[in-house]
Structures are given as structure tokens and as C-alpha cells.
Amino acid sequence: MDDRDRAHLEALVLHAQVAIRYARDRGRGWWKSPETVDAVLMRITQVGEQARRVPAPVLAMVADVDWPGVKEIRSKIVHDYRTIDLLVIRGVVARQLPDLVVAVQRGLGEQE
């Protein structure tokens, strides 16, 4: 993993953490706020964008992450915004993003 790959993965973690924080700060009904949904979706998009910039062999070094799924959600948000299922996004924010953060941070720590 070179410095550029590390920077993309660190940015990915930051965007995921911010998406989680936006939802947490807005409270249990965060998905009812169009502004919060937009902000969370933008950060999830950036998570996918950062993942797209990291070569597959480097991503494979980070265990237990569905990298194709991470990249696909970015495409879904960007290209098919009107059909986004907020129930799915709520699950991503509540379960998948926290797990992604932990996995990537672990992967970054093991690469030092």
C-alpha cells in the first residue's frame, strides 16, 4: 500500500464517520429530514468514490469488506437517486458503515 492508497482509505473512513455522525446528531428519525438524507448520501457517495480510487489488490488486503457493494452503492446514489430505498440506507448507516470503519482502520493499522 502506497501513500496515495492510504490517503484514499483514510478519506473513506472520514466520510463514513461523518455520515454516521450526521445521522446520529439528527436523531432516530434522521431519514425524515431531506437535508440530512442528502448530506448522508453525499458522504456515502464519497465512501464509494474513495474505494474506486484504490486498486483491487490493496482493497483485498482489508478483510471482511464487500468492496463491490461499497462501490455499487455509490453508483446507485449517483445514477439512480430517485429510487433509493431509505430503509436500505438506514441499514447502511446503522450497521455497514460502522463495520467498514473498523475493518479499514484495522487494515490500515496492520499495514504500518
Residue spans of the domains in the chain: they are: 3-110
Cβ(48)–Cβ(75) under 8 Å? Answer: yes
How much is the average pLDDT of 73-102? 93
Query: Looking at per-residue confidence, does 82 or 103 come out higher?
Result: 103
Reported residue count of the chain is: 112
Q: Say which residues have a Cβ less than 8 Å from residue 91's Cβ, sequence separation at least 6.
A: none
pLDDT of 30-39, one tens digit each? 999 999 999 9
Cα separation, 54 vs 71, in Å, equals 11
**Whose CA is closest to 102, among 68, 65, 74, 70?**
65
pLDDT of 14-55, one tens digit each? 999 999 999 999 999 999 999 999 999 999 999 999 999 999
CA-CA-CA-CA torsion for 97, 98, 101, 104, nearest 10 degrees?
-90
Q: Give residue 88's identity as a one-letter amino acid code.
A: V
Above 70 in pLDDT, residue 64? yes
- Whether this prediction's pTM lies above 0.75 is answered by yes
